[in-house]
Amino acid sequence: MKWTRRDILKGLGGLPILGTVWWAGTANALIKSKDRSEILEQLQIEPSLPSALPEIGGEPIRIGIIGFGIRGEQLCRALGFATKEWIEQMKEEERLNGNTQLREFLDQEKLNLKITGVCDIFDVRAENVIASFSTPENKVKRFSTHQEMIRSGEVDAVIIATPDHWHAPMAIEALNNGVHAYVEKPMTHTVEETYSLREAAKNSKAHLMVGHQHRQTLSFKTASDIIDKKVLGHVSVVQTFTNRNDDNGAWNYDIHEKASEQTIDWDLFLGSAPKIPFNKNHFFRWRKWWAYGSGLSGDLLTHDYDRLNCVLNMGIPKYITASGGIYTHNDGRNVPDVLQVNMDFPDFSTGSTQVKGKEKGMTFTYNATLGNGFNRPTILMGHDASMELGNNLTIWPDGGSTKYAEMIEEGKMKPNVPIYHYNPGANVPDAVSSATSQYFADKGLMWTYIDGVRVNSTYLHLREWLSAIRNGGTLSCGIKEGFDEAITAHMTGLAYKLGRRIEWDHQEERIVPIEGINFDEILLSSV
């Protein structure tokens, strides 16, 4: 797949036909064709089109990679750079089970950039970047620290894919030096860092992008159109879930055989974290400890929160409560592996079809376990209809709807039959390599579809950032969206750890203080 802006524009005409697919077979039997036309005319839903961005012209943008672990390697592939080992692995998976990821990678449109620097404290990873991505014309240079790389004058932009406790210090350093930054989620590790990074972004001409790539997923853009047109009526409840049940999903990643005090700069890894002796478990599985990561609230809830924030624009919740514990992996971690979160937005509304003032407010729930893989979809529940949202979306009318009452009474709509189903990737094979990969795919976090062709959504997200660097423009996930995401994650962490409701003051733009409590000390504590 090699698509350009021209190809996108050419493909737009066919997209609505490919994207709007009625519930196969069943719907045809239960809803007459003329009724379907009448329903579609009433809904007026327009399947969203991919953004047409200006070309990334001029000299190649010089990229520095900070952190080449699992996510760093994925981001490099989205940029068009894969290691030799990954290519060989994908060839074997294609031969054994038809995995199409290598073919899609090779067909991906080339971006106008070059990787000029790498900064990773594990020698094996840094050397892998140099060996895999250097060319006779461009040898990738290794830097000992992120400060050295950012101030070198040899990179225009950096990709930050490190443990959470390094995100903000590195992004701030980049912005303060006029270097563009793409930072993984959560954007920050503490409340104070969130304000500091926002200030740095406001004062810098460099572009900051936060790594919520689902903002490129067409089903989510289509969902925004559905909300704007008040198809669902007043949405009072949103339900989101995380279900994973394998070692990878529980952050028990492989420990490299060459890991040692001689190959890893342990002091640099720790940074601001408490000083402890060298520990391979902590280095490779840092997501399991508050000192380096943010647990379910920062690592996975942020995906679900931002997926809905880009659809609803609901902002930071007024109240958050949370509970949970370590119930599935008693392996020394101190972050919960089961988490229940309630977010309340008492003044939020998606519009109403009932009498004025009757409806207002919404609860957003997030329920997660790392000990069960049963897939539960994201559901938005409105007075007039409910929507299931992932890489596809489906809408069911509600039996008590005001908006659709007449059509339901006439039998043109049935509460148990979808009135709209959007599957932009119909008939496209979705080969994935693991249960965790399927989890991300179902949530629309791995890819989207353009004119029926599967496209890496991270590639699109990075492409938007690179285009803004070269041409200017507004980013879909910049500092405002990152601020909302980070504050929500930190409020959740505080609610879980303190066992009490945490409140946001929208006027003052701050978490309402609790006497005798230092929020950042709580977030960083081990319990």
Segment 503-523, tens digit of pLDDT: 999 999 999 999 999 999 999
Exposure string for 47-72, b = 16+ CB within 10 A, e = fewer: bbbbbebeebeeeebbbbbbbbbebb
Tell me what the mean pLDDT of segment 343-362 comes to: 96
Q: What is the DSSP string of 119-170?
A: E-SBHHHHHHHHHHH--SS-PPEE-SSHHHHHTSSS-SEEEE-S-GGGHHHH
pLDDT category, 213, cuts 50, 70, 90?
Answer: very high
CA dist., res. 40 & res. 437, Å (int): 34
Asked if 111 and 228 sit in the same domain, the reply is no
Position of tokens 């950039």?
A: 113
Asked if 141 and 100 sit in the same domain, the reply is yes
Please report which helix (H) or strand (E) contains residue 492, including its range: helix 479-498
Per-residue model confidence (pLDDT) at position 456: 87
Per-residue model confidence (pLDDT) at position 240: 97
Tell me what the mean pLDDT of segment 407-432 comes to: 76
Higher pLDDT: 442 or 96? It is: 96
Per-residue model confidence (pLDDT) at position 33: 67
Yes or no: say if 483 and 509 are a contact pair by the CB < 8 Å rule: no
Per-residue model confidence (pLDDT) at position 434: 53
Q: What is the CATH number of the domain that holds 206?
A: 3.40.50.720
Distances (CA, A) of 416 to 20, 22, 188, 389, 464: 19, 14, 43, 17, 40
Q: What is the CATH number of the domain that holds 249?
A: 3.30.360.10
pLDDT category, 6, cuts 50, 70, 90?
Answer: very low
Would residue 25 count as lying in a domain? Answer: no
Say how many domains are in the chain. 2
Tell me what the mean pLDDT of segment 271-285 comes to: 98
Per-residue model confidence (pLDDT) at position 433: 45
Would residue 491 count as lying in a domain? Answer: yes
pLDDT category, 427, cuts 50, 70, 90?
Answer: very low
Per-residue model confidence (pLDDT) at position 212: 94
pLDDT category, 29, cuts 50, 70, 90?
Answer: very low
pLDDT in tens, 448-469: 766 667 788 899 999 999 999 9
Please report which helix (H) or strand (E) contains residue 338, including its range: strand 338-345
Asked if 208 and 330 sit in the same domain, the reply is no
Would residue 40 count as lying in a domain? Answer: no
pLDDT category, 10, cuts 50, 70, 90?
Answer: very low
Asked if 242 and 185 sit in the same domain, the reply is no
**Which DSSP category does 264 fall into?**
B
For residue 37, pLDDT over 60 is answered with yes
Per-residue model confidence (pLDDT) at position 429: 37
Per-residue model confidence (pLDDT) at position 2: 39
Per-residue model confidence (pLDDT) at position 424: 72
Would residue 116 count as lying in a domain? Answer: yes
Asked if 306 and 444 sit in the same domain, the reply is yes
pLDDT in tens, 313-341: 999 999 999 999 999 999 999 999 999 99
pTM: 0.90
User: Which residues make beta-bridge pairs with 63?
Assistant: 115, 157
pLDDT category, 216, cuts 50, 70, 90?
Answer: confident
Dihedral in degrees, nearest 10, Cα atoms 220, 225, 231, 235: 60
* 271: region left, alpha or beta (phi > 0 left; psi from -120 to 50 alpha): left
Tell me what the mean pLDDT of segment 188-200 comes to: 98
Per-residue model confidence (pLDDT) at position 442: 61
Asked if 414 and 299 sit in the same domain, the reply is yes
For residue 1, pLDDT over 80 is answered with no
Residues 6+ apart with CB under 8 A from 477: 209, 210, 211, 212, 215, 306, 310, 461
Owning domain of residue 514: 216-254+262-269+278-451+479-524
Per-residue model confidence (pLDDT) at position 438: 54
Higher pLDDT: 488 or 43? It is: 488
For residue 422, pLDDT over 90 is answered with no
Asked if 198 and 298 sit in the same domain, the reply is no
Smallest CA-to-CA distance from 418 within 18, 19, 24, 16 is with: 24
Yes or no: say if 525 and 290 are a contact pair by the CB < 8 Å rule: yes
Quick one: what percent of the chain has pLDDT higher than 90?
Answer: 78
For residue 210, pLDDT over 80 is answered with yes
Yes or no: say if 308 and 240 are a contact pair by the CB < 8 Å rule: yes
Would residue 48 count as lying in a domain? Answer: no
Per-residue model confidence (pLDDT) at position 43: 83
pLDDT in tens, 41-82: 778 787 776 667 888 999 999 999 999 999 999 999 999 999
Asked if 142 and 239 sit in the same domain, the reply is no
Asked if 124 and 224 sit in the same domain, the reply is no
Q: If you average pLDDT over every residue of the chain, what do you get?
A: 90
pLDDT in tens, 111-157: 999 999 999 999 999 999 999 999 999 999 999 999 999 999 999 99
| Widest Cα–Cα separation across the chain | 75
Would residue 38 count as lying in a domain? Answer: no
Asked if 205 and 224 sit in the same domain, the reply is no
Asked if 175 and 303 sit in the same domain, the reply is no
CA dist., res. 332 & res. 289, Å (int): 9
Asked if 309 and 172 sit in the same domain, the reply is no
Would residue 505 count as lying in a domain? Answer: yes
pLDDT in tens, 356-379: 999 999 999 999 999 999 999 999
Would residue 199 count as lying in a domain? Answer: yes
